[in-house]
Structure 1
Amino acid sequence: MTGPSAADRLLAVLAAFDHDHPALSLTEISRRAGLSLTTAHRLVGALAGWGALERDASGAYHVGLRLWEVAALAPRGLGLRQAALPYLEDLYEATHENVQLAVRDGPEVVYTEWISGRSAVGVRIQVGARWPLHATGVGLALLAHEVPAVQDAYCARPLAAFTAHTVTDPAVLRRTLAEVRRTGVAVSRRQVTDDALSVAAPVRGPAGAVVAAVSVVVPYPTARTPALVPAVRLAARGISRALGWQPRDPDTDTDPPQEP
């Protein structure tokens, strides 16, 4: 049985960094990547030489700007953010609440933008942060518009609980997804923290497929959900149009039918 390839080891070094570990010593990289110190030293040196890693005055390593430059080429990253930002800012001005933009990556959402609102809620999202699809408004909006096979596979997974209100019953999740498809919005109540509610809507790409989701996150006790729904829908449709989506019926903004 062969061991990890050179590419696998390079990726393991990069994967050692996350939001909880943005700066690492060489020894920490070696341990977190599961590599010998000698191998880690060689790979870190190569990555630093290319600009993927940078070393600060204390000797700790950070993700380098070269990776940011490469990541900016991702159509679901900076390109999506640039198209969406004017509408996210409009949504913030309309609500003065926390505004999010997210995409799906397997069973998780990845946040590509966050505008912090005036209202404080327990969950604080960083760009690049991940959460399971079933526990967030944006995740529900994305999962609801996936094909049945993807939904079935997700519902067959263990559904992690973060509060007493997190949906962990597959049957309840299926009903929730059906409601999201029917109404065009996802409302997630107290699923990640007990004090937060989010309202999310899907963002469509040029062909009509859902490529992202936008949401507002507000304090649960004072949430005025009916007032938030049209604002979030408007932002999602604006971003969708900026990405090239054209509704089948321009007079009613009718969404294309869901894939079977």
Structure 2
Amino acid sequence: MAGNVSTPGATVVSRVLSVLYAFDDRHRRLTATEVARRTGLPVPTAHRLLRELVAGEAITRGADGRYAIGRRLWDVGMLAPEQTELQHVASPFLSDIHAATRATVHLGVRDGMEVLYLDRLSGRASVPVVSRAGSRLPLHPTGVGKVLLAHAPEELCERYLAGPLRRPTIHTITHPDRLRRQLAAVRRDGYATTADEMTLGACSIAVPIARARAERGSGAVEHEVVAALGIVVPSLKRERTRLLAALQVAAQGIGRSLP
């Protein structure tokens, strides 16, 4: 929930930001009353700010009276340098994987304690996929999320494992020790898999995308994991090797092409 900004010292900017931050992946459309409740603003203030944001095309108002984030904000968000560069570089590789596998392909980065999906190319309609470009999901039940969590700083990883951990399906792994072993395997083997953990009927396999950086003074090259690339399919029993090879080749190409 957005932070409470009903205190007298709250600035106009902080109140506007609280209104925008009231929207998230589970609250995509809100009434003015719901915005007020999520921000702690008086309802009249929420109404006024929403009207101004609609006038500025940052928020849209539907025929049902509910509000949603406007396209202008999406356009502004896409100007973030790292996100734009990564998407631009990765786009042809995602297209190649999609054309070769006809599966759903994901490009994701870690945003705090969640995976943010920068891009998604849809595959077979029979495979249930809940992600979309711009959406956020938990790290532990998704293939790209497991990769990103495995390569996150140890302190953040432990804080994440301390929970609470959502359990979208009965197959979602939420036991901290089991997750630690799984994350260690991801770092060792270079890829992560899931089976029915985010949605029933969907399996995934994902690999890290690493950018090479030279250490100052020593001349040594270190690799920093900046994103994850994944595929969602009905089953990994027969095609795991082929899908993993395609992902690894693409991830290496993206990593080498990053500035």
Question: TM exceeds 0.5?
Answer: yes
- Distance apart, 1:60 and its partner CA: 4.6
Alignment match, 2:20:
14
Alignment match, 1:238:
253
Alignment match, 2:198:
192
Gaps spanning 5+ residues in structure 1: where? 245-260
Indicate how the Cα distance of structure 1 residues 53 and 99 shifts in structure 2: closer, same or farther if over 3 A, else same.
same
Alignment match, 2:44:
38
Amino acid at match of 2:230: S
The answer to whether the 8 Å contact 2:210/2:227 transfers is yes
The answer to whether the 8 Å contact 1:203/1:240 transfers is yes
The answer to whether the 8 Å contact 1:98/1:119 transfers is no
The answer to whether structure 1 residue 52 and structure 2 residue 58 are counterparts is yes
- Distance apart, 1:137 and its partner CA: 0.6
Within 5 A, what are the aligned runs for 1:152-191? 152-191=158-197
Deviates more, 1:24-33 or 1:176-185: 24-33
Within 5 A, what are the aligned runs for 1:50-129? 50-55=56-61, 60-129=66-135
Amino acid at match of 2:208: P
Q: Determine the C-alpha separation between the residues in 2 that align with 1:201 and 1:125.
A: 17
Q: Determine the C-alpha separation between the residues in 1 that align with 2:140 and 2:184.
A: 13
Q: Secondary structure at the residue paired with 1:164?
A: coil
Equivalent pairs counted in the alignment come to 244
Amino acid at match of 2:174: T
Q: Determine the C-alpha separation between the residues in 1 that align with 2:201 and 2:68.
A: 34
Indicate how the Cα distance of structure 1 residues 119 and 238 shifts in structure 2: closer, same or farther if over 3 A, else same.
farther
Amino acid at match of 2:129: V
Alignment match, 2:218:
none
The answer to whether the 8 Å contact 2:119/2:133 transfers is yes
Q: Determine the C-alpha separation between the residues in 1 that align with 2:231 and 2:244.
A: 9
- Distance apart, 1:171 and its partner CA: 1.3
Q: Determine the C-alpha separation between the residues in 2 that align with 1:55 and 1:164.
A: 37
Q: Secondary structure at the residue paired with 2:140?
A: helix
Indicate how the Cα distance of structure 1 residues 158 and 18 shifts in structure 2: closer, same or farther if over 3 A, else same.
closer
The answer to whether the 8 Å contact 2:85/2:258 transfers is no
Alignment match, 1:250:
none
- Distance apart, 1:223 and its partner CA: 5.1
Within 5 A, what are the aligned runs for 1:239-254? 239-244=254-259
Q: Secondary structure at the residue paired with 1:134?
A: coil
- TM-score of the superposition, structure 1-length normalised? 0.83
- For residue 10 of structure 2, the aligned residue among 5, 10, 16 is 5
Percent identity over the alignment is: 44
Gaps spanning 5+ residues in structure 2: where? 1-5, 214-222
- Distance apart, 1:91 and its partner CA: 0.8
The answer to whether the 8 Å contact 1:51/1:64 transfers is yes
The answer to whether structure 1 residue 229 and structure 2 residue 229 are counterparts is no
Alignment match, 1:249:
none
> 1:221-244 deviations in whole A, cap 9, x for unaligned?
765212211111111112112213
Indicate how the Cα distance of structure 1 residues 54 and 190 shifts in structure 2: closer, same or farther if over 3 A, else same.
closer
Amino acid at match of 2:127: V
The answer to whether structure 1 residue 214 and structure 2 residue 220 are counterparts is no
> 1:75-108 deviations in whole A, cap 9, x for unaligned?
3433321211100001111211010011101111
Indicate how the Cα distance of structure 1 residues 138 and 34 shifts in structure 2: closer, same or farther if over 3 A, else same.
same
Q: Determine the C-alpha separation between the residues in 2 that align with 1:52 and 1:171.
A: 43
Q: Determine the C-alpha separation between the residues in 2 that align with 1:37 and 1:23.
A: 16
Deviates more, 1:58-67 or 1:146-155: 58-67
Amino acid at match of 1:238: G
Q: Determine the C-alpha separation between the residues in 2 that align with 1:59 and 1:119.
A: 32
